[in-house]
Chain A
């Protein structure tokens, strides 16, 4: 009787212990400090599936309107690289219209394109078009702009806007001798890059207690609006000695407004690396800009696409999907190396 009881107790306690052990194993612990990203949470199964392309030897390059020099450079460099690698190139502009973008993607599918290089028409609006290409076995390589989904495109190669804005903000603080009042022109406040760049500017400048932002207004990335806003700011705050701008187009407008108001001493920075900004930096009217290396990005995308389709879906040098390319701070020291968004050492 006693033995039986003991045996029962032992068996039960063993069962209890075992149940606790298995339970510990199956409960999820999250002690990995570096897994703060969301990239793992929304990955779809398409990542692992090889998209071989249509085999026609045609490469599609789809960008926003090429009337903008930035996108024209992208298209030109990607086309050149693809031709060099032996592809027949077809280009198209979606003009930031998602339905137009879908038509272009459908044309690529009909043409049995080997791959699509895409500067897309919206982080959410583009997902269905890219999904359609993937369903047809055609891989998309995204440049310049990200989409809000991982695991769908093979690569998303974008400029590191935060790093670029922070780098040129450092040059701005030096030019301002680490003190004084300044104003900020923001881009379209609905755009992700507007906040990314502004936050990065301030992550640097706000560390200097003697620098004070006295006015912050949106000029919608637009040159004419930037001119008008700057005029008004100068009237209300004649004591400012610097203006930080979310892009070069606004910086050009601000520079013109300052020149017309007799304030050519103003320290002005932008972001992008346009030839217009380069000219103003050369003539001393702007302190600097952050070059987004769109030419390099376009070239990388084509090289990665070519490697991917020719190697059963292996990515070049095992690069990850999300890739950042650092900007280069451009000042009077190195502006001579910049032309048409290409920086030549």
Chain B
């Protein structure tokens, strides 16, 4: 009989404990979001980008990339005619295209830190210069502005929104380009997937998400 009382007490205590932990006294707060509760929010764009790079950025871009040669051929030197295939960031009227292609590297330009290669694109014989950025500085916000899961409204302000793009570009240099030796690139085959903002029909400047030299 005594045993039973002890047992009941133990179970009651365990029950009470479980209620206490369960009732919201312990909140599960993701690392880096503490500030939302303390009010001391410090936004780290690098951490933000790292958290969705593999799971969202790469799958979305590689998943929706269209063939660049086909796009250019169908546009007939005027990409404004194929804007229905473009993506727009919330704030922008600039069209962004997500493309893939293969070709031969015909020039490497590292005269400035914003380096790029010029590609002779398979299946395309038009006038446009097809360039793929290789850093160490990546220009523009083409990747961020092509991603549909990203939304300015989810960020506190313009500065954070810009920082996200800067971090995406840094990630491209570090993870996608990596330690690229530019010495003997000319003549090699290139397989790329990436994004470009439509600023001109003469120069297509692509920020790569896939960059394979062989």
The residues of A with any CB-CB pair to B shorter than 8 Å are 5, 8-9, 12, 15-16, 19-20, 22-24, 26-31, 33-39, 41, 160-163, 166, 170, 173, 177-178, 195-196, 199-200, 203, 207-210, 320, 322-326
Contact = CB atoms under 8 A, between A and B. Distances in A.
B30 A326 contact: no
Given A16-B15, A23-B19, A203-B163, A34 B149 contact: yes
Nearest to A34: B154
B141 A38 contact: no
Of A15, A28, A163, A178, the most chain B CB neighbours within 10 A belong to A163
Contacts of B11: 9, 12, 16
Contacts of B30: 29-31
Contact of A15 (B15, B24, B33, B51): B15
B21 interface: yes
B38 interface: no
Contact of B91 (A33, A160, A210): A160
B29 A12 contact: no
B181 interface: no
A22 B162 contact: no
Contact of A27 (B22, B113, B149, B155): B22
Contacts of B91: 160, 163, 323-326
B153 A37 contact: yes
A31 B28 CA distance: 9
Contacts of A178: 112-114
A8 B36 CA distance: 44
A209 B23 CA distance: 53
Contacts of A26: 22-24
A24 B92 contact: no
Of A28, A37, A200, the most chain B CB neighbours within 10 A belong to A37
A166 B36 contact: no
Nearest to B19: A19
A335 to B, nearest CB: 16
Given A23-B21, A28-B28, A34-B154, 4 more contacts: A16-B18, A163-B158, A210-B113, A324-B90
Contacts of A207: 113, 136-137
Interface string B1-44: 00010011001001100110111101111100100100001010
Interface string B143-174: 00000011111111111111100100000000
B15 A36 contact: no
A203 B164 CA distance: 11
Interface in B66-82: none
B214 interface: no
B142 to A, nearest CB: 13
A200 B162 contact: yes
Interface of B: 4, 7-8, 11, 14-15, 18-19, 21-24, 26-30, 33, 36, 41, 43, 48, 51-52, 90-94, 112-114, 136-137, 139-141, 149-163, 166
Nearest to A146: B157
Nearest to A31: B30
Nearest to B43: A36
Given A22-B22, A36-B154, A208 B90 contact: no
A178 to B, nearest CB: 5
10 contacts: A12-B15, A22-B22, A27-B27, A30-B30, A31-B30, A34-B150, A36-B48, A38-B156, A324-B90, A326-B91
A135 to B, nearest CB: 26
A33 B21 contact: no
B154 A37 contact: yes
A22 B23 CA distance: 9
Of A161, A162, A173, the most chain B CB neighbours within 10 A belong to A162
A29 B157 CA distance: 24
A16 B14 contact: yes
Contact of B153 (A15, A22, A24, A320): A320
B28 to A, nearest CB: 5
Contacts of B152: 322, 324
Given A5-B4, A170-B139, A326-B91, A24 B22 contact: yes
